[in-house]
């Protein structure tokens, strides 16, 4: 590990799982690997925020919403959290593979899911606030 020879040494710590999941190609610029990692972490934090929102709605809003609406809001937030975290993992892997093969990066499927989901939940709540709470 001490020999600074970036040429043909096999990658450090490539176990069989990494080898099969990451595919071929050559090691990308380490800065890109770290940037991809941070992007993944940012998405995971987004998912965690949705998760916290869902849990909190279910636990704390018993006096505000009717039981059905409370469950609907909590469920949609939790489902969003699951979708966002799952696709964060998939996207991290896709980007890592694309960088290894020097290919263009894949489009983020996550963004439309997230904006649509957020818009749906918000619209549902607005409708509730305008018509429901009488």
Partner 1 sequence: MNRRGPVSLGHEDPGLQPERTLLAWRRTLMTLLVVCTIFLRWIPHFGLIALLPVIVSLVAGILIQIGLNARYRKSAKGLKQERIPAPLREVVVLGGTVIVLSVVGIYSVVSG
Query: Cα–Cα distance between 49 and 26 in angstroms, integer?
Result: 35
- Taken in order 18, 23, 24, 27, the sign of the CA dihedral is negative
Q: Which of 96, 110, 114, 117 binds partner 1 (CB under 8 A)?
A: 96
6 is an interface residue for partner 1 by CB under 8 A: yes
With CA atoms as reference, report the closest residue to 121 among 80, 64, 87: 80
Which of 66, 71, 103, 105 binds partner 1 (CB under 8 A)? It is: 71
Give the residue among 47, 68, 46, 71 at the shortest CA–CA distance from 58. 71
113 touches partner 1 by CB under 8 A: no
Q: What sign does the dihedral 11-13-18-19 (CA atoms) show?
A: positive
Q: Look up residue 23 and give its DSSP letter.
A: -
Contact flag: residue 103 with partner 1 (CB under 8 A): no
Based on the shown chain and the rule CB under 8 A, indicate whether residue 114 belongs to the binding site for partner 1. no
Residue of the chain from 64, 79, 109, 120 that contacts partner 1 (CB under 8 A): 79
Residues in contact with partner 1 by CB under 8 A are 1-2, 4-6, 11-14, 17-18, 21-22, 27, 29-31, 33-35, 37-38, 40-42, 44-45, 47-49, 51-52, 54-56, 58-60, 71, 74-75, 78-79, 81-82, 85-86, 88-89, 92-93, 96
């Amino acid at each position: 590990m001490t020999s600074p020879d970036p040429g043909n040494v096999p990658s450090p710590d490539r176990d069989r799982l990494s080898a099969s999941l990451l595919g071929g190609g050559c090691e990308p610029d380490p800065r890109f690997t770290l940037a991809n990692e941070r992007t993944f972490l940012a998405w995971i934090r987004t998912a965690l925020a949705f998760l916290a929102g869902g849990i909190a709605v279910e636990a704390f809003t018993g006096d505000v919403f009717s039981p059905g609406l409370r469950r609907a809001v909590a469920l949609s937030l939790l489902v969003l959290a699951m979708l966002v975290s799952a696709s964060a993992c998939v996207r991290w892997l896709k980007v890592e593979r694309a960088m290894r093969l020097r290919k263009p990066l894949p489009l983020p499927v996550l963004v439309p899911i997230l904006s649509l989901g957020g818009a749906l939940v918000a619209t549902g709540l607005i409708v509730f606030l305008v018509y429901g709470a009488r």
